[in-house]
Amino acid sequence: MEAIYPYAHVIHLILAIIFLGYVFSDVAVISTLKDKFTKETQKEINQTLGKRSFKIFPLSLLFLVLTGGMMMSKYINSNAGFFQTDLQKLLVFKIVLALVIVLGVLSNLYVKVRGSKKSNFMENHFHKLVIVLGLFIVIAAKWMFLV
Give the pLDDT of residue 135.
97
Residue 78 structural domain = 5-144
Give me the pLDDT at residue 107, please.
94
pLDDT at 111: 92
Q: Chunked in runs of 10, what are the mean pLDDT values of the chain (147 residues)?
A: 90 95 88 80 79 81 95 88 90 97 93 89 92 97 90
81 CB-near residues (< 8 Å, 6+ apart): 88
- DSSP letter, residue 138: H
Angle at Cα 31 formed by Cα 27 and Cα 34, nearest 5°?
170
Query: What confidence score (pLDDT) does residue 118 get?
Result: 87
**pLDDT at residue number 67:** 97
C-alpha 101/C-alpha 138 separation (Å) is 14
- List Cα–Cα distances, 59 to 1, 122, 147, in angstroms: 23, 19, 32
Please report the pLDDT score of residue 89 as a whole number.
94
Q: Count how many domains the chain has.
A: 1
CA distances in angstroms from 76 to 16, 73, 85, 120, 140, listed in the order given: 21, 5, 10, 37, 16
- CA atoms of 83 and 60, how far apart (whole Å): 28
Residues 121, 10: contact at Cβ < 8 Å?
A: no
Per-residue confidence (pLDDT) for residue 8, from 0 to 100: 95
For the question of whether the overall pTM of this predicted structure is more than 0.85, the answer is: yes
CA dist list (Å): 116 to 16, 122, 146: 29, 12, 45
